[in-house]
Amino acid sequence: MSTPTVRRRRLGAKLRALRGELTLKEVTEQSKGRFAYSKLSRIETARSAPKMQDIGALLDLYANLGREVSSELRAALMMLAKEDDQRGWWHSYRGVISPVYEDLISLEAEAHSVSVWHLGAIPGLLQTGDYARELIRVLALTEVPVDALVQVRLARQMVLTREEPLTLRAIVAEQALRSTSSVDGLMHEQLGRLLAMGKRPNVSIQVVPANAALHVGQLESFSVLHFGPHTDLDVVHAEGLTSALYIEEREQVAAYRDASQQLASVALPAEESAQLIASIRKDA
């Protein structure tokens, strides 16, 4: 039995919601033997990796039973149900990255947009190689394969420049921009990258100024991964020094979405943020 991943849990939860008041036995009967009770149970509880053709057939069944299965929802669920043999580039780094980090990369690759709040560092999707290397080195409590982790960090950023790019809404605390380093030019280059990426139509960068009043982002950094209009598929990634976790419960995810909106209102608008970044960069 394979280990449940975030994407499988989101898929299973949405399929359970679509089933509604029907029992698993009733769905089995309606499918005319296509789906065994045990198979449906494993899919809904994320205990096995579903096949894309099975998910497609199950969505067809629910649509025929009167459930609302839009083309957008079908596309989102089919992405979450990608088969194991459709492996992403990150699979070659297994043994280097943790399963939690692998989940994050997988979700970023398939999300419609990501809202990121960072209190003390530049978000990973916007880091330069030198900044990533120094940050990984500083935060490592044990010996880690720094070069390989930098490669992973930079490869993640392809989602911002692909043919159908991820939309990134990044909010960063001013203190992260004013970090210093013993590496010459590191922050100057990093802030230049922020200015360059902020000009892309799919990237928005806002800065919460140092003199802002106390706000909802004081305690932690987090990312909300959005999957189009279906907010019940959204998931939150919260990262600490020694661990990271996913928040999937609907009400809690909604609270983080609200927090992200509150932070956007506290932060400077994108144009003023770019001016502040450029001003700090002059002295970096």
Q: If you ran DSSP here, which 8-state letter would residue 257 be given?
A: H
Q: Give φ, ψ of 146 to 5 degrees.
A: -55, -50
Task: Say which amino acid occupies 192.
Answer: G
Residue-level pLDDT at 176: 97
Reading phi first (left if > 0) and then psi (alpha if -120 to 50, else beta), residue 151 is in alpha
Sign, CA dihedral 76-80-81-85, equals: positive
The architecture that CATH gives domain 6-80 is Orthogonal Bundle (1.10)
Residue owning tokens 């149970």: 41
d(Cα 66, Cα 68) in Å, to the nearest integer?
6
Q: Do residues 50 and 81 make contact, with C-beta atoms less than 8 angstroms apart?
A: yes
Burial 36-49 (b: 16+ CB within 10 A, else e): eeebbebbbebebb
With CA atoms as reference, report the closest residue to 218 among 263, 269, 276: 263
d(Cα 62, Cα 255) in Å, to the nearest integer?
30
d(Cα 272, Cα 280) in Å, to the nearest integer?
12
d(Cα 179, Cα 227) in Å, to the nearest integer?
33
Ranges of H-type helices in 140-282: 146-156, 174-177, 186-197, 250-266, 270-282
Domain boundaries, the chain: 6-80, 92-282
Residue-level pLDDT at 85: 43
Asked, colleague to colleague, whether 6-80 and 92-282 share their fold, the answer is no
Taking CA atoms, 134 is separated from 131, 147, 161, 278, in Å, by: 5, 11, 24, 22
Environment class of 200 (CB within 10 Å of its CB; exposed 0-12, middle 13-18, buried 19+): middle
Task: Say which amino acid occupies 63.
Answer: A
Pairing of strands 203-208, 222-226: unpaired
Q: Do residues 171 and 117 make contact, with C-beta atoms less than 8 angstroms apart?
A: yes
pLDDT in single tens digits along all 284 residues of the chain:
345 578 788 888 889 989 999 899 899 998 887 888 888 898 888 887 788 888 999 999 999 989 988 888 888 888 888 754 456 788 889 889 988 898 899 889 888 999 999 999 999 999 999 999 999 999 988 889 999 999 999 999 999 999 999 999 999 999 999 999 999 999 999 999 999 999 999 999 999 999 999 999 999 999 999 988 778 889 999 988 777 889 989 899 999 999 999 999 999 999 999 999 999 999 98
Q: Do residues 48 and 1 make contact, with C-beta atoms less than 8 angstroms apart?
A: yes
Class of domain 92-282: alpha beta
Structure tokens at 230: 């279906």
Residues 6+ apart with CB under 8 A from 51: 81, 83
Taking CA atoms, 135 is separated from 153, 170, 218, 260, 263, in Å, by: 11, 18, 21, 24, 24
d(Cα 205, Cα 203) in Å, to the nearest integer?
7
